[in-house]
Amino acid sequence: MKSKLRLIGLLTISCLLIACQKSDTNPQNTQSKNAETLKAVENDAQKKLKAKCQSVDLKIKALANKSSPKKLSDLNHLLQLCIAEVPLEKRYQWIKDSEQVYQNLLEKSSIEFYQYMTNSTGDHEELTAQAKKALYAELKPEEQYLVDHAKALYLEKYYLGEGEYTVVQHPQYYIDLFVPHLEKADQVYFKQLRKEYTGSDYILDAGLAISFDEVKNRLIFWESYLKNYPKAHYQSQVAELIKNYKNDLFHGHENTRTLWFDHDKIADQDALKAIRKLAASDSASHKTAQAFLNLITSSEAQWQQLPKSSEDEAEYDSAEQKDIREQRQVLQKQVETEVDAILNKS
């Protein structure tokens, strides 16, 4: 009897030991199998993504030949998925290609599409709700899709001035699709462009729609950008921005001129304030600003010493008044020429 009990006890212990061993080894086996399964799923997903990404160029080429808003929506989604899967140079190429796709789309869009999007007629009159509804019915199905999904496709109306509107690609497009996967310099570039975007031209009706101080701020930013990123991919575009903002600040435009040449003053006071701030900065144009200010100070003293033109219309054609105008015109031309020379040196 005792022998039987001892045998039963040994069998029980053996069973417990086997169970423990199974309990110890099963989690490891399960984890290993799970890891293998997960890796297989990931590899399969990666292969499918790679196959999709290989179709991007074909989709771009197809859209270059024939615009399709629905296919553009699909392309944008695919670009967002694939941009991180290709080399940097390919990313730049896709940015350029996508810009061309949008350009083709907008160039081929009908007048009715533009009128609907800008809510205006060819006579610069705002569409009534009834007229807009009727206009929608006239649009082709693909253009109806385009206006229905305009925001998702990064399209919006853009004011050109003098009552004129157009439709443009919103710069948020680059922020959402490309920026996270570009170089630091490129990220800064696109984010600043987005910051400067206001939904309209910054030059409207032959004049600046932003202050001289804002022009100065933008000029300083972009000059600093080139200093920090001298080999940036978009350096040529930045150089063009700098050239334009410099011209805006030191020359102005017809209705917001920097050089006014009125009776006593020859320069706009707001422009001078901005240029003084530029001269006091460490920006690349600070010496240009200082030279400009020196010129204005000396020239304004000469300008104030010249005889002033009469406001009496009856005296306008007199020999004396003609001589006065000629003297002032000579100095004005001299100052404008020297300003050009200062800018050409910078």
Q: What is the 3-state secondary structure (H, E, C) of 120-175?
A: ECCCCCECCHHHHHHHHHHCCHHHHHHHHCCCCCCEEEEEEECCEEEEEECCHHHH
**What's the pLDDT score for residue 41?**
59
Model pLDDT for residues 288-325, shown as the tens digit of each residue: 999 999 999 999 999 999 998 888 887 888 999 999 99
- Torsions phi, psi for 265 (to 5 deg): -115, 150
Cross-strand bridge partners of residue 43: none
Q: For 248-279, how does the pLDDT look when each residue is reduced to its tens digit (9 = 90+)?
A: 999 999 999 999 998 889 999 999 999 999 99
Give the Cβ contact number of residue 119 at 10 Å: 15
Quote the CA–CA distance of 134 and 287 in Å, as a whole number.
59
- Residue 257's SS3 state is strand
Please, which pLDDT band fits residue 36 given cuts at 50, 70 and 90?
A: low
CA dihedral over 78, 81, 86, 87, signed as positive or negative: positive
CB-based contact 188:229 (threshold 8 Å): yes
State the Cα torsion 80-83-85-91 to the nearest 10°.
170
Whole-prediction pTM value? 0.84
Q: DSSP string of 248-307?
A: HHHTEETTEESB---SS-SB-HHHHHHHHHHHTS-STTHHHHHHHHHHHHHHHHHHHHSP
Mean pLDDT, range 211-227, rounded to an integer: 98
